[in-house]
Amino acid sequence: MDAVTHRLVAARAGVPLGATTYYFATLDDLTAAALRYAADLSAQELGVWETALRDGTDVPTTLAELTGAYLVDRPRALTEMQLYLAAAYRPELRPAARIWADGLTDILGAHAAPEAARAAVTYLDGVLLHALTRDEPPSTPSLAATLAVILAS
Q: Using one digit for the tens of pLDDT, what is the confidence trace for 121-142?
A: 999 999 999 999 988 888 999 9
pLDDT of residue 130: 92
Low-confidence stretches of the chain (pLDDT beneath 50): none
pTM of the model: 0.83
Q: How far apart are CA 47 and CA 11, in angstroms?
A: 32
Q: Which residue type occupies 30?
A: L
Q: How far apart are CA 144 and CA 31, in angstroms?
A: 34
Nearest to 71 by CA among 26, 127, 28, 20: 127
Q: Which residue type occupies 90?
A: R
Q: Which residue type occupies 123?
A: Y
pLDDT of residue 2: 66
Radius of gyration of the chain (CA): 17
Q: How far apart are CA 42 and CA 8, in angstroms?
A: 24
Q: How far apart are CA 53 and CA 56, in angstroms?
A: 5
pLDDT of residue 1: 62
